[in-house]
Amino acid sequence: MISQSTYRIEPWAVRESELDLERLAQAESLFALSNGHVGLRGNLDEGEPSGLPGTYLGGFWDTRPLPYAEAGYGDPEQGQMVVNVTDGKIIRLLVDDAPFDVRYGTLGRHERVLDLRAGTLQRELEWTTPARSTVSVRSTRVVSLVQRSIAAIRYEVQAHDQPVRVVVQSELVANERLPDSDRDPRAQGTQQADLLAVGHDASDLRALLVHRTAGSNLYLAAAMDHQLQTPLGAVHEVEAAGDVARMTVSARLEPGQSLVLVKFLAYGWSRERSEQALGDQVIAALTQARATGWDGLLDQQRAYLNSFWERGDVEVEGDAELQQAVRFSLFHVLQAAARAQQRAIAAKGLTGSGYDGHAFWDTESFVLPLLTYTLPQAAAEALRWRHSTLELASRRARELRLAGAAFPWRTIHGEESSGYWPAGMAAFHINADIAAAVERYTHATGDEQFEREVGLELLVQTARLWISLGHFTGDGHFRIDGVTGPDEYSAVADNNVYTNLMAKRNLAAAAAAAARQREAAVALGVAEDERAVWLEAADAMTIPFDERLGVHCQAEGFTDHARFDFAAAGPKSYPLMLHFPYFELYRKQVVKQADLVLAMLVCSDAFTPEQKLANFNYYEPLTVRDSSLSACTQAVIAAEVGYLELAHAYFREAALMDLDDLEHNVRNGLHIASLAGAWIAAVAGFGGMRDDGARLRFAPALPEEISRLRFRMLYQGSTMQVAIDRQQVIYTLLDGPELTLYHRDEACRLTVDQPLARPLALPVKRSKAPRQPPGREPRHQHRHAST
């Protein structure tokens, strides 16, 4: 875990005051900058040392073989992997012929700051060469949230108390050497993609490199341009060839003098466009960026973020560390999605190569709820990407002898890229997760055009899958057998409750949307008899319940399995998948991540309050949270059933997942869904927000450690604020049309500038909360706030 003193606690920044080379890779992920199209890991400007070099483009991938000891019918033969593209971050420095490297000479001070309001990574240091010449270096890095293709760096070198000769080399470098991957299946695959050089150009202060991938045949263009502020007598040159382009500037600095370089970067890729057209595209983007200028880019960035924080901020009083972590979380989810524009939002965003850069169900189930209520256009773009892959999903369904569409468990481009059966490829619930995201977005925004053009077809094709995957029994029930739910330690299960409830919801939503969009539904071949079958299957869906124990079975027969021996396994055996064969996990009562408990969040009305309490008490001692997706869900349900302090602990775990490196793998990239889960824990947990499409309801409650919680969200074209303290909750409509919401079961009409206050209901007094498996208590150590 990252030391608790590594990053100072501040409300709007993450500050690293000392450079720890042992934790360099972790810091590179935390300090990554992105806009969903371009992603730069927080590598040092000079490129070395590094933990994991990384520059990524949304949706840019190459192929790799998926080997099997025994291949089976339907197993994908090729996988996809994110590519470390041309690195434009590198700015090397020589001082009196001594190359700047933090491992040599004397590093007097070193500080980096991720500014969550400015959207920049700032760095300041002092360095003394072995020959005792001292310089200061200040750099600021930005990936524009406004100009999609653009990143920029301002780099300043200043001489101290004696004249120095400095040389600054600004580079584009392709095919950087990457470290070997480890055996952790969450890390990148073993094969690394090579980029093939196909073109280059250089003139004045500008350079261009064009490459293509060997397998996917995608073309990539990366270009840089510069503005210089130098003393008289400075000289510069530019060159480009193959995998390297370089602009070099040399100057003599008197004490107190500075050399300032502003570097503009532009990236673009395509499969269809020619090398020439792609090069012209990035040069044009550079021209626009130079016209905007450095100060203009920073002004645009701050204005964009001001707008986001005004409609999406979450304020937490009483827990300063959690406040910092929540804003850090929101910032990185925004970066992952803001300009993705019909590209996959990967599980790691563009912060690292973990999971090969793949997107999973995480996007629709954890990231899109946040985006739907804070940045709905990004949610729509993510679903439009899914819609663009429908033909591939339909082809996959036919390959599996199914109807409709079978969306991939993991992918970048749209094809199934999972070599894991059955933990991955049998997890058909991803279809219903996508459908639920469509339903949520449509209800929350009222976007009828989206429903007609995109949402309806996604709902229809996913509904068709369930009818072919499940079957009616002789006694009138509808069963879905042999699938994997969210809990990947229970594979090929019959009637997984989460899957069946989500399929039920999917079928009903498809029938309702087809009734609203009759003309578009007819064009998709939806007839009344098909709608009737959807509704019949939804009504007849099998939902297993153990009458003896008074709880829902996670899947049919689950509560009859032997319990996993957690005490014998010991606390050093987590994650269990790295220490036990899957066979041992599949046949025992052990839960990798919230499954039945997640069903109680997303299908809340399917359970009574008494069932929720009984279910939570039963599954909490079985859930090991070997997935970062679990803590936020457990936080929400713990809050709903009255275990507020436990909910607070899980809230902290979700938000601090990466800042404290709780999963010990942040070096490979951030856990974007867990970071989005921090918002879910705040808004759905302590805010008690539920949106079933018919009504927006809140049932707030606060733990002792949080004195006040305030959040804002968008709903049906309006911006609203919910402020919760010890005595009351105040609902305020900040702008937009009047809204009707529910405070618990009371209908409340909100109008602009007329806040509505309601008393905060006292939480139900519960006996001691259930225990977790030994060694899996929530990890929520407090740090002291810095001044």
Distance from CA of residue 726 to its chain's centroid? 32
At 110, the amino acid letter reads H
Q: Are 46 and 101 in contact (CB under 8 A)?
A: yes
CA proximity to 726, closest of 752, 705, 695, 750: 705
- CA torsion angle for 670, 673, 675, 681 (degrees, to 10)? -160
Query: Interhelix angle for 497-516 vs 429-445, to 10°?
Result: 50
Longest distance between any two alpha carbons in the chain, whole Å: 91
Task: Report the alpha-carbon distance of residue 170 to residue 249 in Å, rounded.
Answer: 9
For 221, phi then psi, to 5°, come to -120, 130
DSSP class of residue 564 equals: P
Tokens read off for 612: 């929720």
Distance from CA of residue 267 to its chain's centroid? 21
Is the sign of the CA dihedral 239, 242, 245, 246 positive or negative? negative
CA proximity to 648, closest of 701, 571, 611: 701
Q: Are 286 and 266 in contact (CB under 8 A)?
A: yes
Q: Are 122 and 133 in contact (CB under 8 A)?
A: no
**528 labelled catalytic:** no
For 594, phi then psi, to 5°, come to -50, 125
Burial 673-701 (b: 16+ CB within 10 A, else e): bbbbbbbbbbbbbbbbbbbeeeebbbbbb
DSSP class of residue 475 equals: T
DSSP class of residue 204 equals: T
Q: Which residue matches tokens 């006292």?
A: 762
Tokens read off for 130: 């072995």
Q: Which of 488, 620, 653, 663 is catalytic?
A: 488
Task: Report the alpha-carbon distance of residue 65 to residue 58 in Å, rounded.
Answer: 21
DSSP lists the bridge partners of residue 375 as none
Task: Report the alpha-carbon distance of residue 455 to residue 510 in Å, rounded.
Answer: 9
Task: Report the alpha-carbon distance of residue 51 to residue 352 in Å, rounded.
Answer: 11
Contacts 24+ apart (CB under 8 A), 306-310: 306/117, 308/334, 308/374, 308/375, 309/117, 310/712, 310/719
DSSP class of residue 686 equals: I
Task: Report the alpha-carbon distance of residue 51 to residue 763 in Å, rounded.
Answer: 47
CA proximity to 741, closest of 721, 727, 711, 764: 721
CA proximity to 443, closest of 462, 427, 459: 459
The residues annotated with a catalytic role in the active site are 488
